[in-house]
């Protein structure tokens, strides 16, 4: 493959001299006494030699042109209007080369270097999983949903820092083509590029619903009391070494700063982009930062913020309607420490502060979950433009919180949260908790 954009060759002419000196026109002699001397006829052998030379040049130029056209035919077309466009073209080619490697092996190293920090930045500014992660979140969900999907570039149009790639997809035999592709069998992928790195990407691919499970396999939990699903944002003040209790099942996604986990033998730290896990032994400490999560399956775990700045994290959890009990024994002046994911702050619409921890509820399931054995799955769900995700399904309990993108206005009312719909023209990322009966 030739890694360059096609450039149209222009033709240039001298208006003062249109004759080709190699084709039969003799040189004009200098004027004398104001009278122009006639041209001396060229000899026959000189004219014959000139004609042979001209035909040889024509043949060489034709051959070179055919070779160049053949090379261009072997690569996707690109229309370029400057050095920036050529850089954009090369960046897109590198992106899809890295994407092919990622889809086959799961290694995103070559792919990541084509992305600018905060590409498709969601919340927070670094992306929900750290630098270069928001677009990578979309691609992780793509690979998890369609692991056999492959891409081939058919055409690239580049103009300045904007590039449009016409891409053909294969390996989606299990998915209706109409869900992803237009009548031509290709999709249009739009990119904005700065300093040879992708800062934004969006697609015209409609109706796509992609899932990237953050709990794999799902957590198997037993509810001893009726309960509810909840999502909230936590902010923990800096340099508070007092461990804060969190009741499982729960998943904490670190957005900014670091959380220290005190090992209990079952809670673990997961690197989201690779799936790598770290299980601290009992009483051993482990640190989780942006791009990592803390998975607490069933027991109570303790976390703390030992940084000099505040730490923020999302928590997705199942909370039980605990029976009314005394908060502390008579004669003891202090109440017991309240767990972070207690029902009282998560079921309200207001932000509450308890010691170093501020809890801001984001989503709360209105449907009560009965006692029993369950499987709890927490996922990123990426919805393409116009795509919908049903949340109120028979035999399942689901809630969602939009992380980036826009949803229909009715989604802001939990009572009306029956379907999550992407009403924008870019992919939408949501954090989704799904609970179903254990087999």
pLDDT, one tens digit per residue, over 175-204 is 544 444 444 567 788 888 988 998 887 765
pLDDT at 118: 65
Between strands 227-236 and 311-320, the pairing is antiparallel
Q: How many residues does the chain have?
A: 439
Of the candidates 121, 79, 93, 91, the residue with the CA atom closest to the CA atom of residue 194:
91
* pLDDT exceeds 60 at position 431: yes
Structure-model confidence comparison of residues 288 and 112, the more confident one? 288
- Are 376 and 249 within 8 A, CB to CB? yes
Q: Which of 168-172, 250-254, 288-292, 367-371 has the lowest mean pLDDT?
A: 168-172
Helix (H) or strand (E) holding 178: helix 177-180
Question: What residues does 232 pair with on adjacent strands?
Answer: 315, 361
What is the fold, at CATH topology level, of the domain defined by 77-205?
Answer: Nuclear Transport Factor 2; Chain: A, (3.10.450)
Of the candidates 250, 236, 238, 233, the residue with the CA atom closest to the CA atom of residue 345:
233
pLDDT band at 236 (very low <50, low <70, confident <90, very high): very high
Structure pTM? 0.70
Q: Which of 140-154, 330-344, 384-398 has the lowest mean pLDDT?
A: 330-344
Count CB atoms within 10 A of the CB of residue 64.
Answer: 10
Alpha carbons 225 and 372: distance in angstroms, whole number: 8
Question: What residues does 159 pair with on adjacent strands?
Answer: 162
For 255-283, the pLDDT digits (tens) are: 889 999 999 989 999 988 778 899 999 88
pLDDT band at 122 (very low <50, low <70, confident <90, very high): very low
Q: Is the dihedral of CA 139, 383, 160, 183 positive or negative?
A: positive
pLDDT band at 428 (very low <50, low <70, confident <90, very high): confident
Characterise 308 by phi-psi region: left (phi > 0), alpha (psi -120 to 50), beta (else): alpha
pLDDT at 439: 85
pLDDT at 159: 82
Alpha carbons 313 and 318: distance in angstroms, whole number: 16
Q: Which of 15-24, 139-148, 160-169, 343-352 has the lowest mean pLDDT?
A: 15-24
Mean pLDDT of the chain: 74
pLDDT band at 124 (very low <50, low <70, confident <90, very high): very low
> Going by C-beta distance under 8 Å and a sequence separation of 6 or more, which residues neighbour residue 205?
180, 181, 187, 384, 385
pLDDT at 13: 34
pLDDT band at 56 (very low <50, low <70, confident <90, very high): low
Tokens of 53: 């030379």
Tokens of 189: 């992928």
3-state DSSP assignment of residue 248 = coil
Structure-model confidence comparison of residues 221 and 28, the more confident one? 221
Percent of the chain with pLDDT over 70: 66
Structure-model confidence comparison of residues 396 and 336, the more confident one? 396
């Amino acid at each position: 493959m030739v890694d360059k954009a096609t450039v149209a060759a222009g033709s240039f002419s001298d208006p003062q001299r249109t004759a080709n000196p190699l084709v039969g026109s003799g040189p004009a002699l200098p004027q004398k006494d104001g009278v122009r001397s006639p041209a001396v006829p060229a000899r026959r052998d000189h004219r014959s030699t000139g004609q042979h030379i001209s035909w040889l040049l024509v043949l060489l130029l034709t051959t070179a042109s055919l070779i160049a056209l053949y090379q261009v035919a072997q690569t996707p077309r690109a229309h370029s209007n400057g050095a920036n466009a050529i850089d954009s073209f090369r960046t897109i080619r590198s992106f899809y080369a890295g994407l092919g490697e990622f889809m086959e092996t799961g290694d995103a190293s070559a792919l990541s270097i084509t992305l600018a920090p905060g590409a498709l930045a969601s919340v927070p500014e670094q992306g929900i999983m750290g630098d270069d992660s928001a677009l990578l979140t979309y691609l992780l969900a793509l690979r998890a949903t369609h692991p056999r999907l492959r891409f081939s570039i058919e055409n690239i149009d580049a103009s300045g820092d904007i590039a449009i790639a016409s891409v053909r997809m294969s390996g989606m035999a299990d998915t209706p083509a109409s869900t992803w592709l237009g009548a031509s069998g290709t999709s249009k992928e739009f990119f904005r590029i700065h300093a040879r790195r992708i800062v934004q990407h969006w697609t015209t691919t409609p109706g796509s619903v992609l899932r990237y499970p953050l709990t794999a396999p799902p957590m198997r939990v037993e509810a001893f009391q009726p309960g509810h699903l909840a999502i909230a944002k936590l902010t923990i003040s800096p340099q508070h070494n007092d461990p804060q209790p969190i009741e499982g099942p729960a998943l904490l996604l670190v957005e900014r700063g670091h959380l220290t986990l005190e090992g209990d033998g079952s809670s673990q730290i997961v690197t989201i982009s690779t799936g790598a896990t770290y299980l601290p032994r009992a009483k051993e400490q482990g640190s989780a930062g942006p791009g990592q999560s803390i998975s607490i399956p069933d027991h109570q775990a303790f976390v703390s913020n030992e940084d000099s700045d505040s730490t923020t994290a999302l928590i997705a959890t199942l909370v039980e309607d605990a029976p009314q009990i005394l908060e502390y024994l008579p004669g003891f002046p202090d109440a017991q420490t309240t767990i972070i994911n207690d029902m009282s702050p998560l079921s309200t619409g207001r932000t509450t502060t308890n010691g170093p921890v501020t809890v801001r509820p984001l989503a709360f399931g209105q449907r009560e979950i009965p006692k029993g054995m369950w499987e709890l799955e927490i996922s990123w769900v990426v919805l393409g433009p116009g795509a919908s995700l049903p949340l109120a399904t028979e035999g399942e309990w689901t809630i969602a919180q939009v992380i980036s993108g826009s949803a229909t206005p009715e989604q802001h009312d939990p009572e009306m949260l029956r379907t999550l719909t992407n009403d924008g023209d870019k992919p939408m990322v949501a954090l989704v908790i799904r609970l179903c009966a254990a087999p």
